[in-house]
Amino acid sequence: MDKFVIRGGNPLLGTIRVSGSKNSALPCMAAAILTEDEVVLENVPQVRDIETERKLLVSMGAEVELGYGRAQHRTTISCRVLSDPTAKYEIVKTMRASALVLGPLVARAGIARVSMPGGCAIGARPIDLHIKGLETMGAQISYEHGYIEARAERLKGAHILFDKITVTGTEDLLMAAALAEGETVMENCAREPEVTDLAALLTAMGAKIEGAGTSTIRVKGVEKLHGAKHRINPDRIEAGTYLVAGAITGGDLCVSHCNPTHLGALIGKLQECGVRVEILGKDQIRVRGDGSLKGADISTEEYPGFPTDMQAQYMALATQAEGASLVKENIFENRFMHVQELVRMGANIRVDGRTATVRGRTPLSAAAVMCSDLRASASLVLAALVADGESILDRVYNIDRGYERIEEKLRGVGAQIRRMGNVFGGD
Ligand code: EPZ
């Protein structure tokens, strides 16, 4: 099992390039199920979750070609044949976003069998709102052997009001509604840029969608959708992670190929902490951490609020800021997996329910730490970049799920980081 060895202390200097968004590419790949034609996606990140989705689609009978390098990170997907509309447990257990095939499969094939996603490190992660929406559209739902089965001759347009804002729930039902009979109105939708990106692809495929990116989306179902070519948005969380990396190391870093308009809440918070952030044109942001940092509170909210996917990374920065920072996690019930590891490195953090109080500034000392969920792992990378000495991060496959070649990108701007195979044996 790979590990990272990181020696802290180097300010990050230069330009770091952001890849395509994992959380856009996953629903967009699932959207290919909706048509017999070929769908070509560009700027797809080379991360484990994309490979998992490729395996999932192939297991259902699709042809998926993933080309990286000169092929400009392109995937070509053909779901002409869907021989087995099943998302199997072996795959779903490694990636709960597999639930994104539920809506498209029922809409295209009239049947879907998806393994109920187990919980995951950050919480129960139910999909009850996905299921409730499909039932409202006329799907017959049954549960057997840990699988949910959804059937419908043809889904019917409906009025759907989400009890809670759900990103993949909005995406799942948006895809289902695209081929439903009649109009669907969805209220209390997620407004994340990933929803808007998916809607852009579906529209290019012939779907009739209004209001993507707002809390009310209207879809006029069509009989068929055709193939399309679509470029995936930049990954706003990867970009945010590198902005924090530039700040925490006291560097001067340009984050390129990103979309600054997707990062308003984070940029505002970094500036409140005393970080110098400058937007250079439509796809570059310059961050300088040369001043002293002061603590600032955050409360995670749905987009455009402060993203839960940046909470762990922000907490690492808060350990280096003077004073207290209150970090409130409102979206997931167990998203403080990074806290104990940061404390082992010398951070002063107290958790009380969904609020963590970080008291800085505390020097961090290098340690052997364990990666857990994707963003908690990113937080440990950031802490190790500023810790005194050499840290060893175990189970970095968690990072590989959502960060493309992170050690190469960071080394390219001066970080002392290298990947090692299993150095001590064991798991
Ligand atoms: C998406 O997960 C992202 N994943 C997550 O990113 C992100 O943290 C999350 O949205 C919130 O922004 C992908 O897009 C693949 P939700 P998702 O449904 O859709 C509850 C990462 O690090 N809920 O918006 O699964 C749920 O338990 C990942 O890249 C229900 O109760 O999140 C949570 O408390 C981690 N019932 C809240 O809603 C449902 O049917 C928001 O979850 C669905 C969700």
Average pLDDT over every residue of 199-214: 98
Residues 6+ apart with CB under 8 A from 237: 21, 23, 307, 309, 310, 375, 402
Q: Would you say residue 96 has pLDDT above 90?
A: no
Catalytic residue among 79, 120, 273, 371: 120
pLDDT band at 35 (very low <50, low <70, confident <90, very high): very high
Q: List the structure tokens of 199.
A: 């809607």
SS3 string, the chain, reads CCEEEEECCCCCEEEEECCECHHHHHHHHHHHHHCCCEEEEECCCCCHHHHHHHHHHHHCCCEEEEECHHHCCEEEEECCCCCCCEECHHHHCCCHHHHHHHHHHHHHHCEEEEECCCCECCECCCCHHHHHHHHHCCCEEEEECCEEEEECCCCECCEEECCCCCHHHHHHHHHHHHCCECEEEEECCCCCHHHHHHHHHHHHCCCEEECECECEEEEECCCCCCCEEEECCECHHHHHHHHHHHHHCCCEEEEECCCHHHCHHHHHHHHHCCCEEEECCCCEEEEECCCCCECCCEEECCCCCECHHHHHHHHHHHCCCEEEEEEECCCCCCCCHHHHHHHHCCCEEEEECCEEEEEECCCCECCEEECCCHHHHHHHHHHHHHCECEEEEECCHHHHCCCCCHHHHHHCCCCEEEEECCCCCCC
Between helix 311-318 and helix 374-386 the angle, nearest 10°, is: 20
Tell me the chain's radius of gyration from C-alpha atoms.
21
Give per-residue pLDDT as tens, 132-167: 999 999 999 999 999 999 999 999 999 999 999 999
Q: What percent of the chain has pLDDT over 70?
A: 97
Give per-residue pLDDT as tens, 358-371: 999 999 999 999 99
Query: pLDDT at position 341, please?
Result: 96
* Domains 3-19+234-420 and 22-231 equal at CATH topology level: yes
pLDDT band at 425 (very low <50, low <70, confident <90, very high): very low
pTM confidence score: 0.97
Going by C-alpha positions, the residue among 283, 214, 286 that lies closest to residue 254 is 286
Tell me if 375 CB under 6 Å of ligand 1: yes
Query: pLDDT at position 93, please?
Result: 87
Residue 306 Cα to ligand 1 midpoint, Å, equals: 14
Instruction: Tell how strand 147-151 and strand 140-144 pair up.
Output: antiparallel
Instruction: Give the ligand 1 atom nearest the CA of 374.
Output: 22
Query: Is the CA virtual torsion 129, 95, 373, 197 positive or negative?
Result: negative
pLDDT band at 70 (very low <50, low <70, confident <90, very high): low
Q: List the structure tokens of 307.
A: 């993203």
- Output 66 or 253, whichever has higher pLDDT: 253
Query: pLDDT at position 318, please?
Result: 98
Query: pLDDT at position 426, please?
Result: 42
Q: CATH classification of 22-231 is 3.10.20.580, yes or no?
A: no
Residue 125 Cα to ligand 1 midpoint, Å, equals: 7
Going by C-alpha positions, the residue among 384, 312, 375 that lies closest to residue 349 is 312
Q: Would you say residue 16 has pLDDT above 70?
A: yes
318 and 255 Cβ atoms separated by less than 8 Å: no
Query: pLDDT at position 126, please?
Result: 86
Residue 166 Cα to ligand 1 midpoint, Å, equals: 6
Taking phi over 0 as left and psi of -120 to 50 as alpha, with beta for the rest, 147 belongs to beta
Q: List the structure tokens of 414.
A: 């001066």
Query: Distance between CA 314 and CA 241 in Å, rounded?
Result: 8
Query: pLDDT at position 423, please?
Result: 46
Average pLDDT over every residue of 116-145: 88
Domain definitions of the chain by residue range: 3-19+234-420, 22-231
Identify which of 24, 127, 167, 400 to mutate to test ligand 1's pocket (most ligand atoms within 8 A of the CB).
167
pLDDT band at 250 (very low <50, low <70, confident <90, very high): very high
Query: pLDDT at position 72, please?
Result: 63
- CA 414 from centroid of its chain's CA atoms: 26
158-186 as b/e: b if 16+ CB within 10 A: bebebeebbbbbbbbbbbbbbbbeeebbb
Tell me if 169 CB under 6 Å of ligand 1: yes
Tell me if 97 CB under 6 Å of ligand 1: yes
Query: pLDDT at position 424, please?
Result: 46
Query: pLDDT at position 123, please?
Result: 74
Query: Is the CA virtual torsion 222, 142, 112, 235 positive or negative?
Result: positive
Query: pLDDT at position 71, please?
Result: 59
Amino acid at 275: V
Q: Would you say residue 410 has pLDDT above 50?
A: yes
Average pLDDT over every residue of 349-355: 97
Please give the CATH superfamily to which domain 3-19+234-420 belongs: Enolpyruvate transferase domain (3.65.10.10)
Q: Would you say residue 427 has pLDDT above 80?
A: no
- Output 63 or 68, whichever has higher pLDDT: 63
Q: List the structure tokens of 10.
A: 């180097």
Average pLDDT, the chain: 95
Residue 332 Cα to ligand 1 midpoint, Å, equals: 8
Identify which of 49, 125, 306 to mutate to test ligand 1's pocket (most ligand atoms within 8 A of the CB).
125
